[in-house]
Amino acid sequence: MERSDNQDSMGRLETQVNKDSQGIKEIKEIREQRAMAYLAISETRGQRANVEDLAEPSMARQDERVREAM
């Protein structure tokens, strides 16, 4: 009986850790999206957006810009 309780407890703990990890991952994604949005707004403020950048932006270039913005 005690072993079953320990297994249940470990299972609940593992489930909570997985939920926490997923939550952290989602928060990171949201922060990256906000940083990219902030960067896009700051770059286009007072000027027209570069159509080529909006059509198909390079992910490597975006990542570099996001790191600079943070």
Domain extents in the chain: 25-70
Backbone φ, ψ for residue 46 (5° rounding):
80, 5
List all residues 6 or more positions away from 19 whose beta carbon is below 8 Å from its beta carbon: none
- pLDDT (tens digit per residue) in 8-29: 888 888 898 888 999 999 999 9
Q: Using CA atoms, how far apart are residues 58 and 60, in angstroms rounded to an integer?
A: 5
Specify the DSSP class assigned to residue 46.
Answer: T
Q: Using CA atoms, how far apart are residues 13 and 61, in angstroms rounded to an integer?
A: 40
- pLDDT (tens digit per residue) in 36-68: 988 888 877 756 555 555 555 566 666 677 677
